[in-house]
Structure 1
Amino acid sequence: MATIKDIALLSNVSASTVSRVLNNDKLISVQEETRMRIFEAAKELGYKTIYERRITKRTEKKSLSIGIVLCQSLEEELNDPYFLSIRQGIEEELKNQGINNSAMFRLYDMETNQMVRDLDGILVVGIINDQALKMISNHSDNVVYVNHSPDEDLYDSVIIDFEKGTERALRHFLNAGHTEIGFIGGVEREHLNHAKVVVENQRLITFERIMEKEGILNQESIFIGEYTMASGYELMKKALNNPIYPKAFFISSDPMAIGALRAVQEAGLSVPDDVAIIGFDDIEMAKFCSTPLTTVKVHTKEMGKTGVKLLIDRIHGRKMPLKVTVSTELIIRQSCGVSQDAT
C-alpha cells in the first residue's frame, strides 16, 4: 500500500505537506498547482486517507449479506427463551457492526428457499444433522455454528461447557450434604424436513456420571420430557407422587424449573425446605419467581455476539477454524437452600 513518503517523492514535496493537504488542513497554504499534483499522485498510487478507509470499511460492513439459520421451531423458541436470547445477541451485534442486510430462516424450510445461496455468511443456531450441514456448507464457505460444534477442524463454533456448568450445580448440592438428587430435563432434537431426531443431552450424561461416581445414582429419579414450563410442572408432579422422592433436583432449563417449582408448591411443600431446586440458563424470570431460582447462568447474548464477530473475521479472510467456549457461572438464590458461603 502506498505511503505518504511515496506520494511526497512522486509529487516532489515534503511528506508533512502531503499529509496536511490530504487531511484537509485549513492552516496550510500551498499553491493550487501543488495541491492538485499531490492529489493526482495519491490517486495514481491508490492511496486513501484514514477517513476514506473508515468510510470504505463501514460501507463494506453494510454491504455484507448475513443469514441466520434457526434449528428450532417457532414453538420451541417461544417456549424456551434460551435460543431467543442467542438470536437477540446476534441481531444486536449485526446492528453494532453496521450490517443491515440479514435474513432469518428456519432449518426445515431452507431447501425451498433460494435466498440462502446468495449470502456472504451464515450463522447456525442449534443442533444440525449431517444432511443439513452439507447443504449449508455447500452454499457458503463462511459458516459459524452457535450452541453446537459439528466439526471443530472445519467450522467456527461458539459453545458453552454444559459439563462444567452441570458439575458446578451438582457439587453445590453435594457439598450441602444432599445424597438424594433427582434430574428433570428435556430432549434436544435436530430438525429437517419436519423430521425430528433426538440427540444426546450433555447435562444428563454429566449428571449420571457424577452421581454414579458418588455412588448415589438412582435411575428412577430421572425424569425426561420437553423444554417447557408445562413439562417441568408435570414431571415434578410425577416425581412427588412417589412415596420416596429426591430432596434436591437439578433441572436442565429454567422454564422447566419454574414449572417444577409450581408443582412443589401445589403439593403443599416448601422450596427449598422440602425440595431444593437448581435450574439452568438464568433467564430473566428466574429471579422473580415466588422463590427466586438458583441457576447456572449462560451468557446467551454473548454467544450470539461472539458468533457474529467470528463470522465477520471469517468473511475477511481467516481460514483457521476457531472454537470459542463461553463460560457459565452458578447464580445462588433462595431455591437451593444453601448460601454461597456455606459451600
Structure 2
Amino acid sequence: MNLKELAKSVGVSIATVSKVLNHYPDVAESTRQKVLEAVAKTGYRLPLHAQSLIGQSRLIALVFASTLPIDLNNAYFSDVLDGLKKRASEMRCDLLLFSEQSFSMKEDYVARCRHYHTDGCIVIAGDPTAPALQRLVLSEIPCVGIDLELTGTSTGYVTCNQTQIGEIAAEYIHDRQYQKPGYLGPGTLISLERENGYRTVFEKYGYEIRQEWFVRTHDFFEFSGYFAMKEMLKQPELPRVIFAASDLLAIGAMKAIIETGRKVPEDIAVIGCDDILHASLCSPSLTTVRIDKGKLGIASIDMLFDLLNGRTTSPAFLMEPELIIRHSG
C-alpha cells in the first residue's frame, strides 16, 4: 500500500495523512486517530521518523563527538556499542550514527536530529562544553551521555566513578607495598579524574609524589603509552609501579619496559584500566580496573527511554568499577 491508497482508505487527502505522519498540529484529533489506526490495520510501512507514532519503533541518534583520533572500532567503545545495540534491539530501536565528519559546518547535531526526526540521542565521547553539544543539550531533544556529563532539562548520563577507579588502583598498590608510584594518561577530564583519585590515596598514606613520573600522553592508545614510557625509562631513577589511564596505554608501557630488558612486574609493575579483551591475552596478563562497558550501553538506552516516556529518573547512573588481578602487578 502506498500513501495515496492509505489516504483513500481513510477518506482524507494525501496532505492530511502526510501532516499526521510528520507531527503537524493542525489536524483534528479524531482524524489523526483514524489515520494511525489505518496505518496499524493495513500494515503500511511508515517512514522511520514516524514509526514511533504507533509503537513500531523509535529512531535514536548515536552521536560520536570525540575530538581525539579514535573511532567506534576502539576496543573500549566496541564493547559499549555491543551493550547499546543489544538493548536497542530489545526496545525496537533503530540507530542512526552522527559523527563530526558526517555533516558540514553549517549544520549541527540539533539540525540533523530534526532533519531525521529522531526521538532522542545517545552521545558518546566529546567535550560537553563544545558549542555543538551545548546546543543539543539546551534543545528539546532528549539525550543521554556515555562517559559524558550532560546537564540540561531533558538529559542524563551514564558513566563509571572515575575518581574511584584511581582510588582502587592506588589502594591495591598500597596493599602490595609498592613504592614510587607513576601515572600515564592524557589531559582529558576522565583521565584527570582518575589521576586525582590515585593521587589522593597516596597523599593520605604519605607517599612521595614525583611529578616526573606522572606523564601526560597524547591519547589513550598503545603508541602513546609506549613512547611515554620510553622517555620515562631514560630517567636516572624509575617508578616501581605505573598506573595507566587505559589498558592500551598500559600494554604500550609494558612493551617499552620489556624491550629494555626489564621485567614486569619484578622491576616495574603495571596496572591498566577498562579490562578490554586484550588485557587478559597479553603477556604478562594485565592487572586492571574493570569497567562493565556493555552495561554502560544498556543503561544509556534505559535512561533515554525513561526520558522519552516522561518517567522521573536520576540524571546520573554511576557504575562501580572492579579490580581484576592478573600477572602484571
1:213 counterpart residue number:
204
- The match for 1:222 among 189, 214, 234 is 214
2:149 counterpart residue number:
149
Q: For residues 149-298 of structure 1, what are the structure 2 equivalents within 5 Å?
A: 149-151=149-151, 155-188=155-188, 201-215=192-206, 216-225=208-217, 226-298=219-291
Unaligned runs of 5+ in 1: 1-45, 47-56, 189-197, 337-343
Kindly name which structure, 1 or 2, has the bigger radius of gyration based on alpha carbons.
Answer: 1
Tell me, in whole angstroms, the C-alpha distance in 2 between the residues paired with 1:152 and 1:269. Answer: 50
Q: For residues 67-86 of structure 1, what are the structure 2 equivalents within 5 Å?
A: 67-72=61-66, 75-77=69-71, 80-86=74-80
Q: CA deviation at 1:181?
A: 0.7
1:41 counterpart residue number:
none
Secondary structure at the counterpart of residue 250 of structure 1: strand
1:123 counterpart residue number:
122
1:87 counterpart residue number:
81
**1:67 aligned partner, one-letter code:** A
The answer to whether the 8 A contact 2:52-2:58 is kept is no
**2:132 aligned partner, one-letter code:** A
Paired positions, count: 271
Q: CA deviation at 1:131?
A: 2.0
1:312 aligns with 2:281: no
Tell me, in whole angstroms, the C-alpha distance in 2 between the residues paired with 1:217 and 1:184. Answer: 14
The answer to whether the 8 A contact 2:155-2:307 is kept is no
Q: 1:316 to 1:79 in 2, by over 3 A?
A: closer
Q: CA deviation at 1:133?
A: 3.1
Q: CA deviation at 1:320?
A: 4.6
Tell me, in whole angstroms, the C-alpha distance in 2 between the residues paired with 1:141 and 1:126. Answer: 18
Tell me, in whole angstroms, the C-alpha distance in 2 between the residues paired with 1:89 and 1:63. Answer: 18
Q: For residues 6-17 of structure 1, what are the structure 2 equivalents within 5 Å?
A: none
Q: CA deviation at 1:309?
A: 1.0
Q: CA deviation at 1:61?
A: 5.0
Tell me, in whole angstroms, the C-alpha distance in 1 between the residues paired with 2:234 and 2:187. Answer: 23
Q: 1:150 to 1:121 in 2, by over 3 A?
A: closer
Secondary structure at the counterpart of residue 328 of structure 2: helix
Q: 1:92 to 1:79 in 2, by over 3 A?
A: closer
Secondary structure at the counterpart of residue 235 of structure 2: coil
The answer to whether the 8 A contact 1:66-1:103 is kept is yes
Tell me, in whole angstroms, the C-alpha distance in 2 between the residues paired with 1:264 and 1:169. Answer: 20
- Aligned CA RMSD, in angstroms, stands at 2.6
Q: 1:273 to 1:266 in 2, by over 3 A?
A: same
Q: CA deviation at 1:319?
A: 4.6
Q: CA deviation at 1:77?
A: 2.6
Deviations 1:294-342 (A, max 9, x none): 0000011110111001111211122554311111100000000xxxxxx
Tell me, in whole angstroms, the C-alpha distance in 1 between the residues paired with 2:162 and 2:287. Answer: 16
Identity among equivalent positions (%) equals 27
Q: 1:303 to 1:202 in 2, by over 3 A?
A: same
Which deviates more from structure 2 when the two are superposed, residues 144-153 or residues 251-260? 144-153
Tell me, in whole angstroms, the C-alpha distance in 2 between the residues paired with 1:312 and 1:329. Answer: 27
